[in-house]
A and B are shown apart, each in its own frame.
Chain A
Amino acid sequence: MRRAAAGLNPVQWLAVPMLICIVAAILFAMPARAFGFQMPEPMWALVPAFAWGVIRPSVLAPFALLILGLFFDGFWGGPIGLWALALLIVYGVVIALRNILSGQSELMMFAWYVGCIALAMAVGYVFMVFGELGRPGPLSIFWQFLITVALYPAAAWLIERFEDQDVRFR
């Protein structure tokens, strides 16, 4: 009870997932191939963007997502601010729908997660079409969407790990 009243430790639920995302992105950016195929490139930061919104509202989380998004934009060489904006939009949607999301079954949570990933990809597509006058191929978007959806167990674990640690927001 004392632990729940004390709230969450920001290092545990914000800083550690951030660090894991950054390390994973660097590892998977190796110029390597396995059996002729390139390594997959999921959008790691969408996992905490979804999970942090479900766990509880926070003042620090949006800025953590901003930093994560800017890191991914800079490291991958994309438009600076694109992933930061997509992550914040996903986080905002999840925060707004927290009351609906809470208490849902695992299957429904997975469906919401898939919807959030699709939203982030749609934000990226719309910006590339109108902002950069490019047209990303649907197949390339689909591959990144699919491999990011496959990270759902990590998001579910993060929610499971921290959701019950601060009962004020349940």
Chain B
Amino acid sequence: MALKEGQFGELKVPLTWTAAVALIVAGIVAVALLVNDRRETLQNQAYGVTRQAVDTVAAPVSGAVAAPGRWTRSVVDWVGDYFFAVSDNRKLKAELVEMRQWRDVALAQRDINERYRTLMGLRTDPPIPMVAARVISDSRGPFANTRLADAGGDKGVISGNPVMSEHGLIGRVVGVGANVSRVLLLTDTTSRTPVMIDRTNARSILTGDGGPNPRLEYLRGRDPVKEGDRIVTSGDGGVLPRGLPVGVAVKGLDGAWRVALFADSTPIDYVRILLFRDFGQLADQKSLSTTQLPTPKTEDPEAFKQQSILGNTPPPPAGGTTPPATVTPAPAQPAPAPAAPRPPAPQPAAPATTPGTPQ
């Protein structure tokens, strides 16, 4: 029997109500997705298959869309270079004279630094390998500031890798696909970056708010920062290496200290992804967090016998239990040092010195 012929055949549900039900169902789906979303974490698996799929599909499309803009900019740059070659040449010559002086200073400082490092036996950081990538899409809204770069897991990029333009730090990788990676910019609302003021070494947290100039928060001390101070990464927490250039301090309209980013001075076409792995990331976290104590060991009486000056200690009984660690009385002279390091006994140790031994 068809539905129309049955008792519910004449039942009509107003479309407004069915639309309301559809709205509620869609809303529940949206809330469920929102609650379960984890975006800014460093764990790669938390980035999610959905996001990786979106990035992988968006990468070639955005790359194709961005290509005409890139070509246009190349043409404009080429024309500009042609017309402004003389003025640029003069400016570059003046900069070269200044830079030569700085080069001499840098060489002298490098020499001093190397001597200090040798004297102090410092372990210097190894050089960081990096990967070049092209930016293919850019989002700038108040709730998301990210970029897509066309290098991913195939080039060794992992979540947490810092990303720089030719001028300074722009953010870090939060999601990696096969050949694309999502970069969370310093300006994103969820971005928190440990930085320091180069002049005073004062620490701060660079906090994005969706605008072009992120805030400097948790500044301590009296006048730790002033206008124009250079801001670099502090390396605290181990996610970023120390000393990457970030920007200069500026006073915001709201009275808060903000940072004018170095990377914001020019359009970002190409970026460098630093394949940086801090010790904290390299370490075996499981072994560090283990609570199991080492197995207690008692002293070997045979080894002790060899070390004894008297050398006539009777051997222990064959099937008996291990005797407790004892110290043979010795003449009034210092006890000889053990031949090999031994683990400490779990029970309270016997007196470390014999009677009359100087302490």
Chain A residues with CB under 8 Å of chain B are 26-27, 29-33, 38-39, 41, 43, 57-63, 65-66, 69-71, 73-85, 88-89, 91-92, 95, 121, 124-125, 127-128, 131-137, 139-141, 143-144, 169
Q: Quick one: which of B141-177 are within 8 Å of A by CB?
A: 141-144, 146-148, 174-175
**A66 CB contacts on chain B under 8 angstroms:** 26, 29-30
Contact A32 B15 (CB under 8 A): no
**B354 CB contacts on chain A under 8 angstroms:** none
Contact B139 A132 (CB under 8 A): no
**B22 CB contacts on chain A under 8 angstroms:** 58-63
Main secondary structure of the interface of A (DSSP, over half): helix
Measured in the bound complex, the distance between the Cα atoms of B18 and A127 in whole Å is 28
**A38 CB contacts on chain B under 8 angstroms:** 138, 140
Contact A132 B30 (CB under 8 A): no
* Residue tally, chain B, CB below 8 Å to A: 59
**Given A88-B27, A136-B210, A140-B209; A77-B65 close (CB under 8 Å):** no
Contact B142 A31 (CB under 8 A): no
Tell me the smallest distance from the CB of A131 to a CB of chain B, in Å.
Answer: 7
Q: Is B44 on the interface with A (CB-CB < 8 A)? A: no
Contact with A along B16-56 (1 / 0, CB 8 A): 10111011011101111111010110000000101100110
Which of A32, A41, A169 has its CB near the most chain B CB atoms (within 10 A)?
Answer: A32
**Given A41-B141, A88-B26; A31-B31 close (CB under 8 Å):** no
Contact A31 B209 (CB under 8 A): no
Measured in the bound complex, the distance between the Cα atoms of B33 and A41 in whole Å is 24
Closest to B136 in A: A31
Measured in the bound complex, the distance between the Cα atoms of B98 and A59 in whole Å is 69
Measured in the bound complex, the distance between the Cα atoms of B33 and A55 in whole Å is 28
Closest to A33 in B: B267
Q: Is B308 on the interface with A (CB-CB < 8 A)? A: no
Q: Of A27, A62, A82, which contacts B19 at CB under 8 A?
A: A62
**B33 CB contacts on chain A under 8 angstroms:** 70, 80-81, 84
Q: Is B275 on the interface with A (CB-CB < 8 A)? A: no
Measured in the bound complex, the distance between the Cα atoms of B22 and A8 in whole Å is 18
Measured in the bound complex, the distance between the Cα atoms of B55 and A103 in whole Å is 43
13 contacts between A and B (CB under 8 A): A31-B137, A39-B140, A41-B141, A58-B19, A66-B29, A74-B51, A76-B143, A77-B174, A84-B33, A132-B189, A134-B207, A139-B211, A144-B142
**Given A65-B26, A85-B27, A95-B20; A31-B139 close (CB under 8 Å):** no
Q: Is B226 on the interface with A (CB-CB < 8 A)? A: no
Measured in the bound complex, the distance between the Cα atoms of B113 and A41 in whole Å is 48
**A31 CB contacts on chain B under 8 angstroms:** 66, 69, 135-138, 147, 267-269
Q: Quick one: which of B263-282 are within 8 Å of A by CB?
A: 267-269
Q: Quick one: which of B171-218 are within 8 Å of A by CB?
A: 174-175, 182, 184, 189-190, 207-211
Contact B138 A29 (CB under 8 A): yes
Q: Of B16, B184, B208, B269, which contacts A77 at CB under 8 A?
A: B184
